[in-house]
Structure formats: structure tokens, C-alpha cells
Amino acid sequence: MKIVILQTDIVWANPSANIEKADEIINRHEGVDIFVLPEMFSTGFCTNPEGIAEKSNSGTLEWMKRTAQRKNCAMAGSIALEDNGKYYNRFYFVHPGGTVDWYDKKHLFTFGGEHKRFTAGSKRIIVNYRGVRILLQVCYDLRFPVWSRNRNDYDIAIYVASWPTPRVEVWKLLLRARAIENQCYVVGVNRVGKDPDCDYIGGSAVISPYGKVVAACEDGNACEAVADIDMSELEEFRKKFPVLNDADSFELV
């Protein structure tokens, strides 16, 4: 599976400019299975979404659908969305045929006030795409391993983020931890640049189940990275070292 991660410098509250930037990158690549963009990639991370969040008939979502069809790929990334009077940090996974799966961020970033205006999701979402099971996660979710615990039900976890520079080493360490403990590939996509509140340096990477970096973007630069993942290697590793079979059982309440 070929995955391209886009570490973009997001223009504040300007979906058309951010889509144009993403298109420039996407059009350079062929034969890609999934393009992954950061958290709230069309606007930047906002905790006061009035006047910034997109509507349920989001133009960004329509662009994702058109691009997925045109490039015969999946498009993944979150946007700030207003739906029936509520605001969500919604991670869209758009299939080439136009089918859309989505995950509403469960762990809202209370330290930054995200919980004051946004509504948390409650449903864990795993997407089946080209024979691969993919868990959808957003930013702060990375700090809560129970929510992402692999129950032998996914192969790749995707984390899209707006993770500030002062805590970027935590981001990098936790991406590796989630890959190792869940015996899966982890795709972590963070932004670069500035918004009204924070600076971002990136640290986007694809991590193997061994905790090794498969592909990574250069810190501080708007760029992309390409990872070719051999899912048969993951299957072989799990057979050889079936650690997930010994995981503790639990229920989320």
C-alpha cells in the first residue's frame, strides 16, 4: 500500500488556498493508495469555530470526493464542521468510489478549550480499504492508548494532528509507542507554520510495527513523504510474534 503524507503549512481560515496547496502536491504523485492531510487541514485548528467551520455540504469534502475519484485513491484528513447546529472535528476518509467514512474526535483538547464549542464523538471507527483495516484517530487521541488499543481488528492507525512545536518530541515518541504496542503501522500527519495561537514544526512520519521510521517529512518544512507498506510483512510478523493474542481484555464504558 502506497501512502503519501502531506505536512502542509495551513493558511488560516482559507479553505480554497489550502486546497490549492494540497492539489499541487497530490498532482505530483501517481499510483497512490491514500493521501493523508493534517487535522483541520482546510482552516487550521480552531477552538472558536463560528465563521470558520464548514457546513455539512462542505466544499472541502466535495473536493476530497473529486480528487479520490480522479486519482483512484483514498483521501484522509479532518475538518472543522458545523452539522445540525453542533460543531465537530470530523476526520473524513473518502474512498475512490465516493463512499465516505468519518470519525468525530473523541478526546477534545480541553487544555486549549476545544471542548467548549465542539461536540466529542463516541464511536471508534475502523475503515476497510483495499483489504486493509484502518483505525481513524485525531491528534489528542494519541495520548489515550486504551481508545486505540488493537483488538486484532486493525492494521494501520492514522493520526492527523495540529500538534504544537513545544510538545513535538512527545508526538514522535507516542507515535512509535502506539505502533509497537498495537503491532501495527502508524501514520502520523502534523502541520507546519503558525496559527493565531501556536507554532508547528511537523514531525510527520510513517512508523513500522517495530517502531522504526518508514518515511518522514523534514521538521519545519512544508513537504510530503511517501511510504510503501508491505502488508504481507505485517501479517508475517504477527504470526511469528503473536503478541496481540496475549493482550488484556477490557470494555469501554
Active site residue 198: no
Q: Are 94 and 68 in contact (CB under 8 A)?
A: yes
Q: Are 34 and 73 in contact (CB under 8 A)?
A: yes
Active site residue 71: no
Identify the sign of the CA torsion 189, 78, 93, 221.
Answer: negative
Q: Show contacts of 196-199: CB within 8 Å, 24+ apart.
A: 196/12, 197/112, 198/45, 198/162, 198/164, 198/165, 199/164, 199/165
Residue 209's nearest CA partner among 232, 191, 190 is: 232
Q: Are 46 and 40 in contact (CB under 8 A)?
A: yes
Catalytic residue (one of 46, 73, 139, 217) = 139
Residue 144's nearest CA partner among 134, 133, 157, 162 is: 157
Catalytic residue (one of 21, 65, 71, 105) = 105
Catalytic residue (one of 21, 39, 54, 73) = 39
Active site residue 139: yes
Active site members? 39, 105, 139
